[in-house]
């Protein structure tokens, strides 16, 4: 029986391969030294940037707003929607009505500029915090608070907050009848507007 196979016909050499020379190392360049003049310029540039930022930061976070009746310019404020505590589905409607009463009343106070509720809601829908919103809009103070139902009474707590420092300027609580929501809104709204107006009214010219 005939078989098939393969024959190796390549030339065979016993010579050793030539040695490969090691690569010549390339010397690393030493870092260029920075002159003392360059360092000084950098330090002065950094100091100038920090100084430029320090003023606005200090003003926004540590300088009290003009709620101290300086009488130089109108106080800019916004009424934040009051938080409802244990009022169920009717709480949001009551808070909205109270918000409208406060905005309408405060807009008539001399020396006060009120941001529209639609602007406040737009920032809330965008997820902007009240403190950041106030700074973006150049506000001085915020009116905020809570509404809570206790038996047959509605407890309304209102606060006036300084935007720049976060300090509480004024706060008070009002108890109104729960069976007369409209009357409770009007009574508490008038009381809050009166107190806020006394705090923000410009001082008489001397």
DSSP 125-153: HTT--HHHHHHHTT-SEEEEEEEEEETTE
Show Cβ contacts of residue 199 under 8 Å, excluding neighbours closer than 6 positions.
67, 69, 160, 169, 170
128 token code pair: 């902007």
Q: Which residue has the higher pLDDT, 193 or 29?
A: 193
pLDDT band at 200 (very low <50, low <70, confident <90, very high): confident
pLDDT in tens, 151-181: 889 999 999 999 988 899 999 999 999 999 9
Query: Is residue 204 pLDDT above 80, yes or no?
Result: no
Q: Identify the weakest region by mean pLDDT among 68-72, 87-91, 120-124, 145-149.
A: 68-72
Q: Where are the domains of the chain?
A: 75-200
Per-residue pLDDT reduced to its tens digit, 38-69? 777 777 777 677 666 655 555 555 455 555 44
C-alpha 206/C-alpha 135 separation (Å) is 31
| The pair of three-digit structure tokens given for residue 67, joined into one six-digit string | 């709620």
Q: Which residue in the block uniquely carries the two structure tokens 């409802």? A: 84
| pLDDT number for residue 68 | 45
Helices (H), the chain: 36-62, 90-106, 117-125, 130-136, 181-200
| Mean pLDDT for the chain overall | 80
Question: Which is more confident, 195 or 64?
Answer: 195
CATH match for 75-200 among 3.40.50.10070, 1.10.8.350, 3.40.190.10, 3.20.20.80: 3.40.50.10070
Q: CA gyration radius for the chain?
A: 37
Angle at 84 between CA 103 and CA 75, to 5 degrees: 30
In this prediction the pTM is: 0.64
């Amino acid at each position: 029986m005939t078989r098939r196979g393969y024959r190796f016909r390549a030339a065979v050499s016993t010579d050793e391969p030539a040695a490969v020379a090691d690569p010549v190392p390339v010397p690393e360049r030493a870092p260029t030294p920075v002159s003392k003049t360059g360092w000084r310029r950098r330090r002065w540039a950094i100091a100038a940037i920090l100084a430029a930022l320090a003023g606005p930061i200090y003003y926004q976070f540590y300088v009290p707003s003009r709620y101290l009746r300086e009488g130089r310019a109108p106080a800019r404020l916004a009424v934040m929607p009051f938080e409802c505590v244990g009022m169920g589905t009717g709480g949001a409607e009551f808070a909205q009505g109270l918000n409208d009463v406060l905005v309408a009343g405060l807009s008539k106070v001399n020396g006060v500029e009120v941001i529209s509720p639609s602007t406040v809601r737009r920032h809330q829908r965008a997820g902007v915090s009240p403190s950041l919103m106030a700074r973006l809009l150049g506000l001085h103070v915020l009116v905020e608070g809570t509404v809570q139902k206790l038996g047959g009474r509605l407890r309304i707590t209102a606060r006036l907050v300084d935007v720049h420092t976060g300090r509480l300027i004024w706060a008070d609580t009002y108890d109104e009848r729960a069976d007369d929501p409209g009357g409770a809104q009007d009574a508490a709204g008038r009381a809050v507007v009166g107190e806020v107006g006394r705090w923000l009214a410009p001082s008489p010219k001397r």
